[in-house]
Amino acid sequence: MTPPDVLVIGGGIIGRVAAIELATAGATVTIVDAGTNAGSHANAGSLHVQMQSRFIRLFPEQAPNVEAALPLYKQAASVWADLEARIGDCELTRQGGLMLAEGEAQMAFLEDKARREERRGLDVTLLDRAALDRIAPWIGAQIVGAELCRDEGKLNPLLAGRRLEAECRRLGITVVTDSVQALERAGGGMVAHGRRSRYAAQEVVIAAAWGSGVIVRDFGVDIPTRAEPLHMNITEPCAYQIAHLVQHAERPITFKQFKSGQIVIGGGWPARDNGPDAVPSVRADSLLGNVALAARLVPAVGRLRLIRTWAGMNTTADGGSILGRLAREPRVTMAVPGDAGYTLGPLIGQMAASIVLGQAPPADPAPYAPDRFAAATA
Amino acid sequence: MSEPALEFDGRAVPFREGQTIAAALTEAGQRAFRRTAKDAPRGIFCGMGVCQDCLVTVDGVPNRRACMTKARAGQRVTTGEPFPALDLDARLPEPAPARVLEPEVLVIGGGAGGLSAAIAARAAGAKVVLVDERPVPGGQYYKQAASGAPLDAQQSEGAALVAAARESGAELLGGVEIWGAFDGPLFLAEQDGAALILRPKTVIVATGAYERPVMVPGWTLPGVMTTGAAQTLWRSYRTLPGRRVVVCGSGPLNAQVALELAEGGAEVACVAELAPMPFGKPFAAARMALADPALTLKGFGLLRGLRRRGIALRYGTALRGIEAADGGLAVTLADRRDGSRVVEVDAVCMNAGFEPQNEILRLLGAQMTYDAVFGHLRCTRSETLETSVPGVYAVGDCAGMGGAPAARVEGRIAGRAAAAATGHGEAYDLFAELRTLARHRRFQRGLWRLYDVRPRPPEPGQGETILCRCEEVSLAEATEGHGRNPGHVGTLKRGTRIGMGRCQGRYCGPVATRLVAGWSGAEIADRSFFAPRVPIKPVSIASILAAQEALDDAP
Ligand SMILES: Cc1cc2nc3c(=O)[nH]c(=O)nc-3n(C[C@H](O)[C@H](O)[C@@H](O)COP(=O)(O)OP(=O)(O)OC[C@H]3O[C@@H](n4cnc5c(N)ncnc54)[C@H](O)[C@@H]3O)c2cc1C
Ligand SMILES: Cc1cc2nc3c(=O)[nH]c(=O)nc-3n(C[C@H](O)[C@H](O)[C@H](O)COP(=O)(O)OP(=O)(O)OC[C@H]3O[C@@H](n4cnc5c(N)ncnc54)[C@H](O)[C@@H]3O)c2cc1C
Ligand code: FES
């Protein structure tokens, strides 16, 4: 079978990895990307594997989807390491992630969580304060213990973005800046109508994150992809001393140090949405709350200076990934990640490419089929 | 009695009362203050807290700006390191007490514009707070001496304005650095490590401008600084930037500072002015003379002063490059007639115009348009100098270059308007003020047409020249990054790290924006520049913690 011409809509982590896999298999690939608000350009580079407390609290109804997908996260973190081996250094490390508990109730929450995660095959251990002191003595005194997930890690997304861009160039993938307004069947293939031009292809991969739902609403699915503006902070560089990804059992925070020295503080604090064509803006309460929390958990950063904050667009639907051909239009393959989509990105991108190429994907895509969003009536 | 001394890398450095660490080190002949990630030496550059190149470790605290930190006896100062170690055993510092202020009129910036605004608003009866990041108010034009008597008429005029502001009953707070501006408006500031939270009814932004450099090979070497930095060293701290100096770039500040430094005892090799001799532009010169005969005469006085001291003012002369040589600097200048020449100095001063400090205005969403003559953004304002954001006024150079006399008039207008908006005083006749303002603006337009200050990238043949001082990104790397991934200057930033450092793209940003516009053929507008983001200046996490606690406790 000769590989088809493929149009990939959306050039974030998923779109680029899918394009790279497809082009490697010999397909002619075009990426059309609107050039605005990619989560992949704003994210913090945490490789999340254990369930994030923020997510369980914010979207309790979606938590079961995330829990069921835990093995996918573990596999995705390994796929990232493989990808790095292929595209070059992304400052990726997998020295584990700590989720901190303040008091016995939070410790009990972590115990229950760890049991559930262990059942799904994650490498997790509970640490009391003495054990925590042996690996991370710099954690604030109020912390009584932690859950360590050894599958977790981190990388520098700016570096990864540059590597992926170079790989796309090396493979001769065409990248166009345009925003797709409509998609339709035309003869034996598909045509996407952008603001500037139209794009014909035999197969289409939709990796447009928050922009995905509207593109396919005429194909019998009602996919509620929503943009969620989130806030990030970064400090000036210091010597590389903190290897773990740090989170909290109850409060939203991710804390890590890039190998290049800067400390990145995030964890899903909200930003202000300014519409699809403008970047979201930073809110004072998020900045103060997020950074103050980091300083309480890791007091050593008190003397460092914050040099920048920014806001970017995350995407939410029902917590699970949305992956597979549309029942009504099999030439269209959806590829939208579940929560912690940067972690999942390379794996979901590879799975989408396998589906288009008619090969067996590296994991079972059945639980993520887009049909679960079939529109009530046509 | 021996004079007080601080310690720099283990050696005693004497200083005089009021001097900053940067002034003391410069006076002691110490030019390199820190080392970069690529191990390049750096020293004082902007002298005003913007460039973040003068970072030193002070009593164990890394990344303190030597130009903004007062020298103290016994202080232990060491060369700034690119990757200082975190003290992992450190406890969270006790947050210094935070203060919340809710004035009717907040004035940000204590220069010509801000001081007159505060006086006018207070005279109308409003409750006024004025904040400035420098310890002493006065701003750039009226730059006050840290100690001692005024140097000349300019400083005396400033001292009088400061005294009038104090007498007016406005609260003047020094050493306050605003790092956050949010809707509301809400401002977050750091004052000596403590947090200051400001929720004014109206705000007058008067943050002034900073200097545009000349990007040539070697412009990041220690000993190379902006003309304004040299002026601050001399006027505020009575410290000469070097024994022998050369002044380069374009604009009226260069000749003025050259003369000031010469009067202070420096040997000035020459003033290299990029623009041709003004006789080539009689129309602009005549318009300027008509608009403000007194200021024009002052300019002639300046030229006479230079001539008397034998300092050549070389028109049509470009700075081509700077190299470290024999403990000094070898500076290559080129003009159309004589070709290039090399002068040996120990300090280079450069100024090629100004960039408005409009970060607060942009963060608050004030509308801007691109002014092609000045090569920077200009804030859109009403007749009473209100921006497109209700209750937010902009006066002076932060809204676009206008000069000190215009800033004073603008301050008076906005001060009264802001007071009226909070229920003090009433509508008044603006006619006379507006006429004066129009005259000042005509003078400025004429004046700047004589010079050549568009933000310029280095010459294409000088690809190794650094554009981004903080992240050490060269012109060649930026060009290559854009070739890989054309688009917005934000895309270039992600691809090359240009503009990602501590100064937040203050120097490379305007040039990168022009480069990207040139490459893509797009018109320059507000959105062509780096997106405005907080913190406006790097801020200590301890001070953020203090602000968070104060706001959490607030009702
Ligand atoms: C891992 C990581 C580390 C980072 N480290 C740093 C750091 O050390 N220092 C630092 O300063 N920043 C840093 N950043 C922030 C960086 O700028 C981000 O890449 C970017 O996503 C957000 O940038 P911004 O919005 O603050 O500003 P910019 O990157 O300047 O973004 C401006 C945006 O505005 C958009 N835009 C402007 N005009 C238009 C228009 N007409 N139409 C549509 N869109 C327009 C552009 O698309 C552009 O993306 C980091 C980011 C990441 C992901
Ligand atoms: C601040 C922040 C921090 C985060 N931190 C992490 C983290 O640490 N770890 C983690 O795992 N995840 C993190 N995430 C989530 C993660 O970034 C995203 O889930 C992930 O990057 C999504 O990748 P994507 O390829 O699906 O889509 P995106 O990277 O969002 O890219 C989608 C692209 O599609 C384009 N597009 C949309 N509509 C159209 C259209 N109609 N036509 C053409 N193009 C279109 C967009 O312009 C965009 O470029 C974070 C998110 C944010 C916002
Ligand atoms: S010289 Fe101190 S910040 Fe520029």
CA distances from A6 to A13, A174, A351, B492 (A): 17, 11, 15, 28
Residue of B52, B55, B86 to mutate for A, most A C-beta atoms under 10 A: B86
* Rounded Cα distance, B482 and B487, in Å: 7
Q: Average pLDDT, stretch A54-77? A: 87
Q: Domain boundary at B18, B51, B79, which?
A: B79
Q: How confident is the model at residue A292 (pLDDT cuts 50, 70, 90)?
A: very high
Q: Which range, of B77-81, B264-268, B455-459, averages the lowest pLDDT?
A: B455-459
Which residue has its alpha carbon closest to ligand 1 atom 23?
A310
CA distances from B336 to B274, B275, B539 (A): 11, 11, 46
* Rounded Cα distance, B451 and B444, in Å: 11
Over residues B156-208, the pLDDT tens digits come to: 999 999 999 999 999 999 999 999 999 999 999 999 888 999 999 999 999 99
Kindly report the nearest CA distance between residue B539 and chain A, in angstroms. 5
Report DSSP state, residue B44. Answer: -
CB atoms within 10 A of CB B512: 30
Which residue has its alpha carbon closest to ligand 2 atom 19?
A341
Residue B1 has a pLDDT of 52
The verdict on residue B417 lying in a domain is: yes
Q: Residue by residue, what is the 3-state secondary structure of chain A?
A: CCCCEEEEECCCHHHHHHHHHHHHCCCEEEEEECCCCCHHHHCCCEECCCCCHHHHHHCHHHHHHHHHCHHHHHHHHHHHHHHHHHHCCCCCECCCEEEEECCHHHHHHHHHHHHHHHHCCCCEEEEEHHHHHHHCCCCCCCCCEEEEECCCEECCHHHHHHHHHHHHHHCCCEEEECCEEEEEEECCEEEEEECCCEEEECEEEECCHHHHHHHCHHHCECCCCEEEEEEEEEECCCCCCCCCEEEECCCCCEEEECCCCCEEEECCCECECCCCCCCCECCHHHHHHHHHHHHHHCHHHHHCEEEEEEEEEEEECCCCCEEEECCCCCCEEEEECCCCHHHHHHHHHHHHHHHHHCCCCCCCCHHHCHHHHECCCC
Q: Do A287 and B544 touch (CB under 8 A)?
A: yes
Question: Which of A138, A177, A309 has the CB atom closest to B533's CB atom?
Answer: A309
Tokens of A77: 């973190």
Q: How confident is the model at residue B445 (pLDDT cuts 50, 70, 90)?
A: confident
The answer to whether A25 contacts chain B (CB < 8 Å) is no
Tell me, rounded to whole angstroms, the distance of Cα B69 from its chain centroid. 16
The answer to whether B533 contacts chain A (CB < 8 Å) is yes
- The residues, ordered by sequence, that sit 6+ positions from A33 with a Cβ below 8 Å of its Cβ are A9, A10, A11, A12, A15, A175, A176, A177, A178
The answer to whether A303 contacts chain B (CB < 8 Å) is yes
* Rounded Cα distance, B328 and B166, in Å: 44
Kindly report the nearest CA distance between residue B434 and chain A, in angstroms. 36
Domains identified in chain A and CATH numbers: 6-41+159-225+318-377 (3.50.50.60), 93-153+228-314 (3.30.9.10)
- Rounded to the nearest angstrom, the distance between the alpha carbon of A93 and the centre of ligand 3 is 36
The verdict on residue B536 lying in a domain is: no
- Indicate whether B2 pLDDT > 80: no
Q: Do B544 and A158 touch (CB under 8 A)?
A: no
The verdict on residue B441 lying in a domain is: no
In terms of domains, do B365 and B477 share one? no
Percent of chain B with pLDDT over 90: 78
Q: Do B487 and A35 touch (CB under 8 A)?
A: yes
Q: What is the DSSP string of B211-279?
A: E-----TTTTSTTEEEHHHHHHHHHHH---S-SEEEEEEESHHHHHHHHHHHHTT-EEEEEEESSPPGG
Q: Residue by residue, what is the 3-state secondary structure of A29-75?
A: EEEEECCCCCHHHHCCCEECCCCCHHHHHHCHHHHHHHHHCHHHHHH
Kindly report the nearest CA distance between residue A339 and chain B, in angstroms. 24
B387 within 8 A of B380, measured Cβ to Cβ = yes
ipTM higher than 0.90? yes
- Indicate whether B214 pLDDT > 80: yes
Q: Residue by residue, what is the 3-state secondary structure of B266-289?
A: CEEEEEEECCCCHHHCHHHHHHHH
Over residues A78-92, the pLDDT tens digits come to: 999 999 999 999 999
Pairwise pLDDT comparison (B328 vs A66), residue with the higher score: B328
- Rounded to the nearest angstrom, the distance between the alpha carbon of B359 and the centre of ligand 2 is 28
Q: Do B540 and A303 touch (CB under 8 A)?
A: yes
In terms of domains, do B107 and B127 share one? yes
Over residues B12-63, the pLDDT tens digits come to: 999 999 999 999 999 999 999 999 999 999 999 999 999 999 999 999 999 9
In terms of domains, do B313 and B407 share one? no
Residue B194 has a pLDDT of 87
Q: Which ligand is nearest to the CA of B20?
A: 3
Q: Average pLDDT, stretch B466-492? A: 92
The verdict on residue B86 lying in a domain is: no
The secondary structure element, H or E, covering residue B530 is none
Q: Do A292 and B548 touch (CB under 8 A)?
A: yes
In terms of domains, do B190 and B231 share one? no
Question: Residues 104-133, chain A: which have Cβ within 8 Å of B?
Answer: none
Hey, which of A53-62, A100-109, A269-278 has the most confident mean pLDDT? Answer: A100-109
- Rounded to the nearest angstrom, the distance between the alpha carbon of A165 and the centre of ligand 2 is 15
Question: Residues 329-348, chain A: which have Cβ within 8 Å of B?
Answer: none
Q: Do B63 and A288 touch (CB under 8 A)?
A: no
Q: Domain boundary at B403, B424, B445, which?
A: B424
Residue numbers in A near B500 (CB within 8 A)? 308
The verdict on residue B403 lying in a domain is: yes
- The residues, ordered by sequence, that sit 6+ positions from B138 with a Cβ below 8 Å of its Cβ are B110, B111, B115, B144, B158, B159, B161, B162
Residue A1 has a pLDDT of 57
The secondary structure element, H or E, covering residue B343 is strand B339-345
CB atoms within 10 A of CB A125: 13
Residue of A303, A304, A309, A313 to mutate for B, most B C-beta atoms under 10 A: A303
Which residue has its alpha carbon closest to ligand 3 atom 3?
B49
Partners of B101 in beta bridges: B198
Q: How confident is the model at residue A324 (pLDDT cuts 50, 70, 90)?
A: very high
What is the position in ligand 1's atom list of the atom closest to the CA of B533?
Answer: 26
Which residue has its alpha carbon closest to ligand 1 atom 20?
A42
* Rounded Cα distance, A189 and A181, in Å: 17
Residue (of A245, A233, A247, A242) closest to A261 by Cα position: A242
A258 within 8 A of A46, measured Cβ to Cβ = no
What's the pTM? 0.92
Which residues does a 6 A CB cutoff place in the pocket of ligand 3? B 44-47, 49-54, 65, 67
Q: Is A319 in the pocket of ligand 1 (CB under 6 A)?
A: no
Q: How confident is the model at residue A256 (pLDDT cuts 50, 70, 90)?
A: very high
- Rounded to the nearest angstrom, the distance between the alpha carbon of A306 and the centre of ligand 2 is 24
In terms of domains, do B167 and B232 share one? no
Residue A377 has a pLDDT of 60
Over residues B291-302, the pLDDT tens digits come to: 777 777 788 888
The answer to whether B483 contacts chain A (CB < 8 Å) is no
Which residues does a 6 A CB cutoff place in the pocket of ligand 2? A 9-15, 32-40, 42-46, 48, 179-180, 207-209, 211, 215, 230, 232, 254, 266, 312-315, 336-337, 340-343, 345
Kindly compute the dihedral angle of the four CA atoms of residues B31, B34, B38, B40, in this order, to the nearest 10 degrees.
0
Q: Do A304 and B487 touch (CB under 8 A)?
A: no
- Backbone φ, ψ for residue B44 (5° rounding): -65, 135
* Rounded Cα distance, B224 and B515, in Å: 24
> What CATH number does the domain containing B44 carry?
3.10.20.440
- Indicate whether A310 pLDDT > 70: yes
- Backbone φ, ψ for residue B428 (5° rounding): -140, 170
Q: How confident is the model at residue A243 (pLDDT cuts 50, 70, 90)?
A: very high
Q: Which ligand is nearest to the CA of B54?
A: 3
- Rounded to the nearest angstrom, the distance between the alpha carbon of A253 and the centre of ligand 3 is 33
Question: Residues 141-170, chain A: which have Cβ within 8 Å of B?
Answer: 158, 161-162, 165-166, 169
Over residues B104-115, the pLDDT tens digits come to: 999 999 999 999
* Rounded Cα distance, B262 and B250, in Å: 19
Residue A378 has a pLDDT of 46
In terms of domains, do B110 and B198 share one? yes
* Rounded Cα distance, B211 and A360, in Å: 61
Can you tell me whether residue B47 is helix, strand or coil?
A: coil
Q: Average pLDDT, stretch B411-430? A: 92
B234 within 8 A of B264, measured Cβ to Cβ = yes
In terms of domains, do B22 and B110 share one? no
Instruction: Residue B368: give the domain boundaries.
Output: 99-210+355-424
Rg (CA), chain A: 21
The answer to whether A173 contacts chain B (CB < 8 Å) is no
The verdict on residue B449 lying in a domain is: no
Q: Is B362 in the pocket of ligand 1 (CB under 6 A)?
A: no
Residue B184 has a pLDDT of 93
Question: How many domains does chain B divide into?
Answer: 4
Q: Do A306 and B500 touch (CB under 8 A)?
A: no
In terms of domains, do B275 and B224 share one? yes
Residue (of A120, A102, A122, A47) closest to A249 by Cα position: A102
Residue numbers in A near B541 (CB within 8 A)? 235, 291, 294-295, 301-306
Residue numbers in A near B484 (CB within 8 A)? 165-166, 169
The answer to whether A241 contacts chain B (CB < 8 Å) is yes
Question: Residues 137-196, chain B: which have Cβ within 8 Å of A?
Answer: 180, 182, 186, 188
* Rounded Cα distance, A232 and A243, in Å: 19
- Indicate whether A32 pLDDT > 80: yes
A93 within 8 A of A153, measured Cβ to Cβ = yes
- Rounded to the nearest angstrom, the distance between the alpha carbon of B319 and the centre of ligand 3 is 22
Question: Which of A177, A291, A292 has the CB atom closest to B487's CB atom?
Answer: A177
Q: Average pLDDT, stretch B391-403? A: 97
Residue numbers in B near A302 (CB within 8 A)? 90, 92-93, 540-542, 545
In terms of domains, do B217 and B315 share one? yes
Residue A101 has a pLDDT of 97
What is the position in ligand 1's atom list of the atom closest to the CA of A161?
Answer: 53
In terms of domains, do B301 and B233 share one? yes
Q: Average pLDDT, stretch A339-356? A: 97
Q: Average pLDDT, stretch B66-74? A: 96
Q: Average pLDDT, stretch B371-383? A: 94
Q: Is B488 in the pocket of ligand 1 (CB under 6 A)?
A: yes
Q: Is A240 in the pocket of ligand 1 (CB under 6 A)?
A: no
Residue A354 has a pLDDT of 98
The verdict on residue B534 lying in a domain is: no
In terms of domains, do B360 and B285 share one? no
Cα diameter, chain B: 71
In terms of domains, do B223 and B336 share one? yes
The secondary structure element, H or E, covering residue B357 is none
> What CATH number does the domain containing B234 carry?
3.50.50.60
**How much helix, strand and coil, in percent to the nearest 5, is found in chain B?**
30, 25, 45
The verdict on residue B144 lying in a domain is: yes
Q: Is A304 in the pocket of ligand 1 (CB under 6 A)?
A: no
* Rounded Cα distance, A54 and A36, in Å: 26
Average pLDDT, chain B: 93
- Indicate whether B363 pLDDT > 50: yes
Average pLDDT, chain A: 95
Residue (of A216, A184, A207, A234) closest to A42 by Cα position: A234
